[in-house]
Amino acid sequence: MTAAYAFTDYRAQGQTIPSMLVDIGKPPTRTLSFFNLYLLVEDDRLKRHSEQTARWWKRMKDTLE
């Protein structure tokens, strides 16, 4: 058993959260839908974008030094 804390999406807006788990499967089947797959693809896209942004900022920092 893992302790957890939950709040609504409205309350979460504007917060920086290091990690989270979102159960978006329809109970009790917990199967993947097209929406679930879209979220997985979007998560990968955002991760790549974050990595590209971090590399860009590192280059900018190196340029200024």
Q: Does some domain include residue 38?
A: yes
Predicted confidence (pLDDT) at residue 1 exceeds the cutoff of 60: no
Which alpha helices (DSSP H) does 1-65 contain, by range? 9-12, 34-64
**What global pTM score does this model have?**
0.47
Q: Does some domain include residue 39?
A: yes
Q: Does some domain include residue 40?
A: yes
pLDDT value at position 27?
61
Phi first, then psi, for residue 15 (nearest 5°) are -95, 150
Count of structural domains within the chain: 1
Q: Which tokens sit at 4?
A: 């957890």
Q: Does some domain include residue 28?
A: yes
Confidence band (pLDDT; 50, 70, 90) for 17? confident
**What residues make up the domain containing 29?**
24-64
pLDDT value at position 40?
81
Q: Which tokens sit at 17?
A: 């959260």
Q: Which residue has the tokens 């957890």?
A: 4
Q: Does some domain include residue 4?
A: no
What does the pLDDT look like over 24-61, one tens digit per residue?
666 655 666 777 778 788 888 999 999 999 999 999 99
